[in-house]
Every structure is written in C-alpha cells, then in structure tokens.
Structure 1
Amino acid sequence: MANRSALATWVRLWCACFVLWLVLTSTVVGNEVVTGIWAAALAAGATVVVLRHEPASRRTGTWPTARIFARVPLRIVGETGGLVRVLVHRMRGQQPRSRFEEIAIGPEVEGREALATILTSISPSQYVVGFDHARRVAVLHSLEPRGPASLDEALTGR
C-alpha cells in the first residue's frame, strides 16, 4: 500500500514538475521536452525519497508556505526598486549601506534551509549566507538594511 502511495505521489509531482518545466522554458522543441521529462522524473524521485525517509514530525509544521509563495513576486518588484535606488546612489559616488545581519530562526526552519534560502534570496537585494543552528540564527546580507527580526519576517516581508 505504501508503494502505491509513493507511486501516486511521484506521478503527481512529475506532472507538476513537467508543467513547470514547460512554462519556464516556454518551448515544445523536442530536445527541451525530453530534457524536461528527465528533469521532472529526477525531481519527483528525489522528493519521494526525501518524503519517505523524513520523519513525519518534521513535515507537519505550520509554515505559511502559500502566503510566502504568494508574496514572492511582490517582494521581487519592491526590492528591485530598492536595488535600482542603491545603484543610482552608487553611480553618484555614494557608498551602499549593505550589511550582514543575524536574524533569529525558529524550529520550523530546521530541515527547510534550502527552501528558506531560495525564497529569501530570490529577490535582488538580499540573500542568505548561512545558518548557525547552535546560536539559532541565519546570516542574511541585505543591500538596504531593514533589520528583519526573524527569518519568517524576511520571507514574508512583514
């Protein structure tokens, strides 16, 4: 029964990944489609392996993933404006005020560092440098220091 569930999960993930591949490549040229088929298969397979081996207790967190994903385009637009502002100041001879910040991470981030890194770093004016689990902080580089208090705040822009 578990194998059927894993197969069903793999098929759903493969379909989603393949559609995403087609959308991102914007083409149906033969070699791109074949590459997309294989890339989707690898992504779905890796996800199923991780889901089968990761304890369920680590997957049941209540991270507001949908809200975070919905705000990504708005963050990109907003932070692109900030990046342009920094570049204009730089062209005028002013030094940028970029800095490294340590922000708190909660237990819900553990095991999701890759997702947190991608979602935080996708916008042009900040990126995650690394995580220090002993001190429960993430190191974030920001072009426009705003000082988010936590990684959740950096992700959601609140």
Structure 2
Amino acid sequence: MRKGTGQSPTGRRALSAARLLGALWTSPNTLAGLLAGLAGMPMGARPRWSGRDFAWVFHHWPWGPGGAVTLGMVILHTGATLDVPCHTYEHRAGRCRHPRISLRDHERAHVFQYLVLGPLFLPVYLLCGGVSVRNPFERAADRYALQGRGWWP
C-alpha cells in the first residue's frame, strides 16, 4: 500500500480499469455532451478537463436557466466555476434544512452514476422523475455532496 493513499497498487489498478470500462460504456452520452459543449463554444463556452471530476467541464455554457447538467463524462456549466454553493433538492423543496453543498461535488456524483449505467442512465433517470426531489439519483448526488460518499441511489 502506498503511504497516504489508503489503497493498494492492485486496488488502484482495479479502480482505473473500472473507470476505463465505465468511460467506454457511457461514451454515447459523453459524445452527446461533447457535441453540446462544442455547439456552445462560438458563444463563449470553454472546455477544460477536470481529473478531479473525471469529466470535461464546459464553463460559460450559454443555454439553460443556470447551474449545470451532466451528460456522460461532460459537465455543461453556465458559470465560471463549479466551486459554487447550492441548495440540495430536498432543501429547495422545503422537506428539510441542509447546509449548502458544492455544485462540483453534486455533478461529479452524476458522472459516477453515468459510468455505471452508461447509455441506460438517461432513460432510468427520466423514469425516476427527471430533475426533481423525487428522483433518487438527485438525492444520491446531494448526499454525496453533503457527505463525500453515497453517490449511488
């Protein structure tokens, strides 16, 4: 085990292999995200690879009401940085009081969810309620942003 990582070399290789398989599995979603990001570039969208988020992040994406949307390994963000506080879905719905969470952490959870479900993510996500507090994928992403774990519904 390498000092300070808490993970053996075998564990790191297994995680890398799982991420690679997940990246291949979700590549149709990632392609859609890249095309949407590229479409926004003439209007100011700027891409940057984020190893921390395991995704391409397009900042200043020109469409949408504000915030971010994830497609595969692409995060389309209307602002300048993902490091902004936001409320959880449950907090906004008045169900509870949570501290603000990081938009970056919330969207990273969706990247992980895409790596597992690949092209099935969007249909399953929509069947679970879409963008709403009822959706277990949104609540799991909020939980991950609150606690640093538990990104799977």
Give the shorter-chain TM-score range: under 0.3
TM-score, normalising length: structure 2: 0.27
Higher helix share: 1
